[in-house]
Amino acid sequence: MQQQALDWLKSGDQIGLVPTMGALHAGHDSLLQRARRENNRVVVSIFVNPRQFGPNEDFHRYPRPFEDDRARLERLGVDAIFHPPLEQIFPPAFKTSIDPGPLGMVLEGAIRPRHFGGVLTVVLKLFELTRPTRAYFGQKDFQQVVLIRQLVRDFSLPVRVVACPTVREADGLAMSSRNAYLDPDQRRVAPAVRQALEAAALAFGRGESDAVRLESQVRDALREAAVEHVDYVAVVDETTLSRPARAQSGNIVALAVKLGSTRLIDNVVLGAERF
C-alpha cells in the first residue's frame, strides 16, 4: 500500500483517503464521492481497530461484511481497498500510542477514556501507509475530526482533514453501522435524537443563546421521547471544545444517548443554514 501510494504521488497524483471500519453505508459513499471529485486517486481503508474499543464494548460483534463492502467499493470505482490484517497494523512488538491530550478527555473521551488514543494511533499509521493528500471524515464524529486536525498540526503532517456533512436516514437518524443493533421499538424512538438537536438549533435561531437553557431543552425533548439514558448533552466551542456561557454561531450542540445497549451520537452546528 505504501509503495503504491508513493508511486502515485511521484507521478503527480493526489490521494484521497476514506478511513472506515467497514459495514459501509450511504454516509461512507458520500465521503468517497467527495474524495473522488477532489483527488486523482481514492483509497478506502477497512480496519476494525481494537484500540478504540473499551473492554465492555462491541469489538467482537462489530459487523464485518467485507465481501459486501468490497463489491460496493468496486461499483463506486475506488483505486485501492486497504484491508490489512490486525497483525500488520499492530504487530506483537508494537509499543507506541498517541496521547490525545485534554481535548480527548471531554465528551466522548470522558465516557470512553481509551477511545481517542486508539483512534489517533491508527489514523497516524493509516496516514503513513496511504500517504493521503486529503482525508475524509463525517461531521457526526465531530470531536474525532477536531482531534485528528490537532494530530495533523502537532506532527506537521502533509494532510488536509476534510469534514463532510452527516448523511441521514429519511427520518433524520444519522447513518451509522451500529444502527443495525437497534430493535424495532428502539428504531422508532431513535429519530428523537435529531429532533431534540433541531429544536435547540431553532431556539438559537430565535435568539436563545444561554448554553444551559439550550442543553436543558435538548434533555427535556429526549425525556419526552422516552430516551432514558443520556451520556451527555453539551454546547461546546467547535475548536476548543470548551463550554461557552453564551452560545455563538458555529458552536456545536453534541449529545450521546443509549437505546438499550446501542449508543448513538449526533450533533448540530448552531447558526447553520441547514441542520
**Catalytic residues, which ones?**
28
Sequence letter at residue 160: R
- Which residues, at least 6 apart from 142, have a Cβ–Cβ distance to it below 8 Å? 163, 238, 252, 254, 267
Closest CA to 116 of 190, 54, 189, 203: 54
Question: What whole-number distance in Å separates Cα of residue 193 and Cα of residue 77?
Answer: 34
C-alpha triplet 22, 267, 35: angle, nearest 5°? 45
C-alpha triplet 191, 49, 136: angle, nearest 5°? 65
Closest CA to 168 of 12, 25, 13, 17: 25
Question: What whole-number distance in Å separates Cα of residue 84 and Cα of residue 221?
Answer: 43
Q: Encode burial over 21-34: b for 16+ CB neighbours within 10 A, e otherwise.
A: bbbbbebbbbbbbb
The H or E element that residue 160 is part of is strand 160-164
Sequence letter at residue 262: T
20 three-class SS: strand
